[in-house]
Amino acid sequence: MRPENYKPVQHSASHEYELYFGPNHPGIEGNYALKCVLSGDVVQSLRADGGYLHRGFEKIMEERLWIQNVALVPRICVPDPVPMEETYARAVEMLGGLEIPKRAQWIRALMLEASRVCAHLFYFGGHAATMGMYSNMFWGVTDRDLILDIFEEITGARIYHMYITPGGVRRDLPEGVLDRLSKVLDYVESRLPEFDNLFFDNAVVINRATGVGTLTTEQALSWGVTGPNLRACGLPFDVRRDDPYLIYDELDFDIPTETAGDAWARTLVRREELLQSIRILRQIIATLPKVGGPIRCALPNPLAWNVPAGSVYARTESSKGELGFFVVSKGGAKPWRVHVRGPSSMHAVHVLERLGPGSRLEDVAQIMFSLDACPPEVDR
């Protein structure tokens, strides 16, 4: 709500009070608000309030050429933009019946996993910060920067790469970048014991996060939870494994799970996933030099590219869960409809509103962050 539109409400005397948590709050990821009704410091009810980052992407995408949307999609999710590029591109490829060259597929998988590592490093820092522990956040962001350097080398941009396009990728890898990525991965891996000392083996953190925001397996399934949050409830579902895309069925990786379903389990799952992503990246680094060929299939002139009519639903496992793009073409030069199923839209609204009641005020931020809710992607 815009400040000028805020009208104080006179409530009748009660033991309950209403508290706006956000939209400008250090414990909130992005601009997002939670309207909490509290009694003491126990949340009675919670309403998610989005829209502060609404840019109308789905609408704008209908106004733009197929290729132009490449510049738009990564902006849907700031911390993990690559899956957005990948899923949009793949949806267009499915519509157009395009066969992407092998090399492009491997490069795209590399980008996706590197982005997952970034997002998880960000996540640990963020999760710790919601408990008031900022060192972890500085560490995570600093280490993530090393991967951003690699992104910059490959794509010419650090955050919004606009690199994956329908048909492949836009540039081949620069000389020696795989070696440098390999060194960064070694470094990130070597940092994990230090993260463990500070965070994962920290008794205070474990105490603060255990039992917070607990999801049962049944709740997780019926509330539409996906991704690491679902795996933290003991369900080993992963789009990369169940609905494989690119070259994921040629990769060797585990799907880590935890059973507790609470904030701590969600963080532990991600710690394991970070290692799995490093494992995948090492396989890609070993394989990519052997995969030659073009990095993009032949495409028509993007100014006059009619994508065949039809509709597809493309899915990707992002760091936050299941990402879906439902793309409809009427056979024209622009998409007729693009519906983005943001991975955290379900977590940040539906799940959070149900997990919140009964928790304590100081845990609200932690619950939100442990679900890895990403407001820009909820708002789109």
Residues 311-340 that bind another protein (CB under 8 A): 311-313, 315, 322, 324, 326, 328, 336-337, 339
Cβ proximity to another protein, 123 vs 160, nearer residue: 160
C-alpha distances (whole Å) from 349 to each of 47, 157, 243, 290, 361 are 8, 31, 25, 45, 17
Q: Residues 18, 153, 189, 272: which binds another protein (CB under 8 A)?
A: 153
Cβ proximity to another protein, 19 vs 221, nearer residue: 221
C-alpha distances (whole Å) from 230 to each of 227, 234, 253, 259, 372 are 5, 7, 18, 10, 12
Contacting another protein within 6-45 (CB under 8 A): none
Cβ proximity to another protein, 44 vs 336, nearer residue: 336
Cβ proximity to another protein, 40 vs 308, nearer residue: 308
Q: Residues 18, 20, 35, 162: which binds another protein (CB under 8 A)?
A: 162
Cβ atoms 318, 227 nearer than 8 A: yes
**Nearest CA-CA partner of 126 in 258, 211, 25, 26:** 26
Cβ atoms 74, 84 nearer than 8 A: yes
Q: What is the SS3 assignment for 370? A: helix
Q: Does 196 contact another protein by CB under 8 A?
A: yes
* Cα-based angle 129, 131, 133 (whole degrees, multiple of 5): 50
Total Cβ atoms within 10 A of residue 196: 12
Distance CA 110, CA 281 (A): 6
Contacting another protein within 71-100 (CB under 8 A): 71-72, 94
Q: Residues 41, 63, 179, 186: which binds another protein (CB under 8 A)?
A: 63
Q: Residues 59, 134, 309, 357: which binds another protein (CB under 8 A)?
A: 59
Distance CA 19, CA 22 (A): 9
Contacting another protein within 115-144 (CB under 8 A): 135, 142
Q: Does 308 contact another protein by CB under 8 A?
A: no
Distance CA 110, CA 154 (A): 11
Cβ proximity to another protein, 27 vs 50, nearer residue: 50
Contacting another protein within 238-297 (CB under 8 A): 242-243, 260, 294-296
Name the one range near another protein by CB under 8 A: 112-120, 145-153, 281-289, 362-370. Answer: 145-153
Q: What is the SS3 assignment for 263? A: helix
Q: Residues 9, 190, 203, 293: which binds another protein (CB under 8 A)?
A: 203
Cβ proximity to another protein, 372 vs 379, nearer residue: 379
Distance CA 31, CA 237 (A): 30
Q: Does 102 contact another protein by CB under 8 A?
A: no
Q: Does 224 contact another protein by CB under 8 A?
A: yes
Q: Does 160 contact another protein by CB under 8 A?
A: yes
Handedness of CA 240, 78, 130, 15 (dihedral sign): negative
Q: Residues 205, 212, 365, 371: which binds another protein (CB under 8 A)?
A: 205
